[in-house]
Amino acid sequence: MINPLNNQDTSLIHRKTKTKPSRNISSYLIGRPLPTADAPHETIGKAVGLAVFASDALSSTAYATQEILVILAAAGTLAFGYVFPISIVIVGLLTIVVISYEQIIHAYPNGGGAYIVAYDNFGYFPALVAAAALLTDYILTVSVSVSSGVAQIISAYPALFEYRVPISVLCVAFIMIINLRGVREAGAAFAVPSYFFIVMMLITIGIGLFRLFNGSLTSVPNPPQMEQFGQAISGVTAFLLLHAFSSGTAALTGVEAISNGITAFKEPRSRNAGITLIWMAFILGALFLGISFITRAIQAVPSEAETVISQIARTVFNGQGILYLLVIIGTTVILILAANTAFAGFPRLSAMLAEDGFLPRQLTFRGSRLVYSYGIVSLAAVSSILIIVFQASVTRLIPLYAIGVFLSFTLAQAGMARRWWRAGKVSPQDSENKNDAGHELRYEKSWFLKMLSNGFGALCTAVVLFVFAITKFRDGAWVVLILTPIMVSIFLWIHRHYTKVAVSLSLKKYGEPPPYNIRHRVLVPISGIHQGTLAALRYARMLSEDITAVHISMEPTDTEQVRKDWEIWGRGTRLVIVDSPYRLFLEPLLDYIDEILSSRQANETITIVVPHTVQDQRIYNALHMQTAEMLRRELLSTPGVMITEVPYQIP
């Protein structure tokens, strides 16, 4: 053991603690704590990254095609012919969005997606709007995906219906704990089901296409009753197509996740994240197009009784055999796992906001497994509350969902467009032009083309956003209009507080006052004379010559006892007895201290030495008036006094 006392010669001693975190319940649950130095190892490669960040996007292929059909159904079955063309347009939009995010990933390698892009190019306000939209979205992703996954389980086992809320909350808790174990373990745990879903869907589409070309693929046998959602209209209108298109863009949700989570990837992280994004886009596009194509080929219909995926699997595999079952299981699991993407994105984004002072700073602290534990737990808590409030019903939550994503798409791409415009203005020689936020801006030869491409992307997503807002306004999208300003206000309120604290603690323009003077007045409040009080008095005598003991007299008999004891133990120290006719303790004492403070001389320091009897067990505190504690709390907010507690432990 190094004794620091031997190093008196140097004024800086650097040592390392020998404490290892103790093993407790949490280390059994989430694994042994990891040292900070392990951070570079706690990253994931492309294959695992795809599983973590793509599950949200991929899960949307399970319902996006159906969403298009539902809208088209208003114009009759003939309108179903538009499902594949619309899907192609959506994949076109996907391409534009993915190209934008590919650029974002390389331009902002520390992650943050729409928030960082908007912050860097438009300032904090649009950035906060994007952040509010995304955070809301992540929370809803968890609630909706877990609820819908559990709803699938319940359609298989209706007896579980009344337990749907606890089952959903348990699922959230399970995903939370796995994520608290660290990003590497969460990725490994959830990679298998993600890839299982991809493989099953590829098999289904592959066999479907094969049977289509050899002519053995029939229409859906015993198709479910087609249901009419919304009002029937006489023909296919432009608005209907636009509406169907915007509903289908649900397939795009989750695409932004990687841009928020770049820091989770192994170095070179921008490159790894970028390649993962492209892979994800390819798989997503292929599955979505494949499903839409086969949907049309087998004339699947939208229905609440049977999903389109189920109709496809049933038709392709000729009935509900083992392959059919595996497809359904894979779909259920991927729906629940979409939540995992939110657990990867939310904590990182909120840590970034906290770093910038818009959310409580605790969110930047990495837990024992090097993940942002506060963020993970907060996400689980809020989404569980939503599940409980909405009784795990998906339909009431879904309208809120997806608006946030398109808001962030639009802001991110508009931001990139502006960035390219700025990049065009930078002198080609001046390649080290850093702005306030420290983001590098280089001259870009093809800035105009890139600006156009991002601008076009922004326009497209803005249109979708607009259509969304109009078509889903009454279903609950208005909630977003209320929620986003509230969240932005909270961000700003938190930021104002941190700024105020930073300014009042700042050392800029701080001329340090002279050291405290030797004139030191000490007050010792006492309620009785005992070993604890005497310990406080002895300490007070060490601090100063000028000591005043103060006794607030509430019961005359107690005061008489204090007076008598003081003759024996007071050792000539001044004792002030303050009569309190109304049996108040704190108020007369604080008044007395205020009086002393008001007559204080300039070079005087005042210390209150409080004897504090400490119980060995918390429960015993209930048997004592917590006067030391109350006094301390009041004194803390009284400027100009120091509070010294002399603890006296009751063994």
* Interface of this chain with its own copies, residues 36 to 55, rule: CB under 8 A: 36-37
625 binds its own copies (CB under 8 A): yes
The footprint of its own copies on this chain (CB under 8 A) covers a number of residues equal to 114
CA 577, CA 25: separation in Å to the nearest integer? 51
496 binds its own copies (CB under 8 A): no
Classify residue 175 as exposed, middle or buried by CB count within 10 Å of its CB (0-12, 13-18, 19+). buried
183 binds its own copies (CB under 8 A): no
Backbone φ, ψ for residue 380 (5° rounding): -60, -40
Answer positive or negative: Cα dihedral of 264, 270, 275, 281: positive
29 binds its own copies (CB under 8 A): no
Cβ–Cβ contacts within 10 Å for residue 344, how many? Answer: 28
CB of 366 to its own copies, least distance (A): 6
557 binds its own copies (CB under 8 A): no
27 binds its own copies (CB under 8 A): no
490 binds its own copies (CB under 8 A): no
Which of the stretches 241-249, 297-305, 306-314, 631-639 binds its own copies when contact is defined by CB under 8 A? 631-639
CB of 19 to its own copies, least distance (A): 5
Which of the stretches 214-222, 226-234, 336-344, 356-364 binds its own copies when contact is defined by CB under 8 A? 356-364
110 binds its own copies (CB under 8 A): no
Among 266, 439, 472, 612, binds its own copies (CB under 8 A): 612
35 binds its own copies (CB under 8 A): yes
Give me the amino acid identity at 310. S
Residue 263 or 644: which CB sits closer to its own copies?
644
Beta bridge partners of 641: 606
613 binds its own copies (CB under 8 A): yes
Q: CA 617 from chain center: how many Å?
A: 36
Q: Annotate each residue in 516-545 with x if it binds its own copies (CB under 8 A) or - if it does not, as one string.
A: xxx-x--------xxxx-x---xx-xxx--
Backbone φ, ψ for residue 515 (5° rounding): -55, 155
15 binds its own copies (CB under 8 A): yes
Residue 282 or 569: which CB sits closer to its own copies?
569
231 binds its own copies (CB under 8 A): no
CB of 83 to its own copies, least distance (A): 50
If you compute the radius of gyration of the chain from its CA atoms, what whole number of angstroms results?
33
Among 232, 438, 513, 602, binds its own copies (CB under 8 A): 513
Among 88, 199, 449, 584, binds its own copies (CB under 8 A): 584
Residue 318 or 605: which CB sits closer to its own copies?
605
Query: HEC string of 188-209?
Result: HHHHHHHHHHHHHHHHHHHHHH
What would the two tokens of residue 466 be?
């607009």
Describe the crossing of helices 238-248 and 447-471 by its angle, rounded to 10 degrees. Answer: 100
Which of the stretches 58-66, 198-206, 409-417, 491-499 binds its own copies when contact is defined by CB under 8 A? 491-499
Among 31, 33, 166, 424, binds its own copies (CB under 8 A): 33
Residue 56 or 185: which CB sits closer to its own copies?
185
Tokens 């509070």 correspond to: 643
Q: List the Cα angle 238/241/247 in 5-degree steps.
A: 140
Query: HEC string of 358-408?
Result: CCCHHHHCCCCCCCCHHHHHHHHHHHHHHHHHCCCCCCCCHHHCCHHHHHH
The per-residue DSSP string of 463-513 comes to: HHHHHHHHHTIIIIIHHHHHHHHHHHHHHHHHHHHHHHHHHHH--TT--PP
Among 23, 41, 106, 361, binds its own copies (CB under 8 A): 361
CB of 118 to its own copies, least distance (A): 24
Residues found in the chain: 651
646 binds its own copies (CB under 8 A): yes
Helix (H/G/I), strand (E/B), else coil: 433: strand
Among 12, 238, 482, 602, binds its own copies (CB under 8 A): 12
Residue 213 or 510: which CB sits closer to its own copies?
510
DSSP H helices in 475-611: 478-505, 531-543, 556-569, 586-598
Among 437, 489, 595, 603, binds its own copies (CB under 8 A): 595
576 binds its own copies (CB under 8 A): yes
580 binds its own copies (CB under 8 A): yes
Residue 53 or 566: which CB sits closer to its own copies?
566
